[in-house]
Amino acid sequence: MNHRIETPFESIENAQQYIRLLAEAVKEAKRDVDDEISLATLQMSHRRVEALCVVEYNLEKLRRYLSASGRTLSDLRSLRRLLHDERTATKRSEHHPADRTTPLITTASASKRVRAGKVPMVSNF
């Protein structure tokens, strides 16, 4: 019996949707905190304003992390599409040896190339 549990992260697209929803919640929370800061400032509650500023700072930090995560997921989706197209092209090139592409590099050598800045630029991303 093979029961597969479905999760919200079955695909990159689902993870992207989750990140977008979370980013929207952070944006809404930031608006609420901004309102609270204004109110606390009017009430001369300095300690509360300081605490709310820390909350605002952490929400901004979270927003930046979510933004970076969204970009990373987009990159992964683009790379998946690129690799999928290369696989279909490779299957086609088995019949036409002149159409062969260069082989993909391994993960270890890819990371070394990325760290060394020796990854060729790919257009159409």
29 and 59 Cβ atoms separated by less than 8 Å:
yes
Q: Is the pTM of this model over 0.75?
A: no
Does residue 48 lie within any of the structural domains? yes
Helices vs. strands in the chain: H and E counts, helices first: 3, 0
Does residue 94 lie within any of the structural domains? yes
**Number of domain units in the chain:** 1
Range of the domain at 59: 12-116
Q: Is the pLDDT of residue 67 over 50?
A: yes
Does residue 26 lie within any of the structural domains? yes
Could you tell me how far CA 10 lies from the centroid of its own chain? 15
Does residue 24 lie within any of the structural domains? yes
Give the per-residue pLDDT at 43: 95
Does residue 99 lie within any of the structural domains? yes
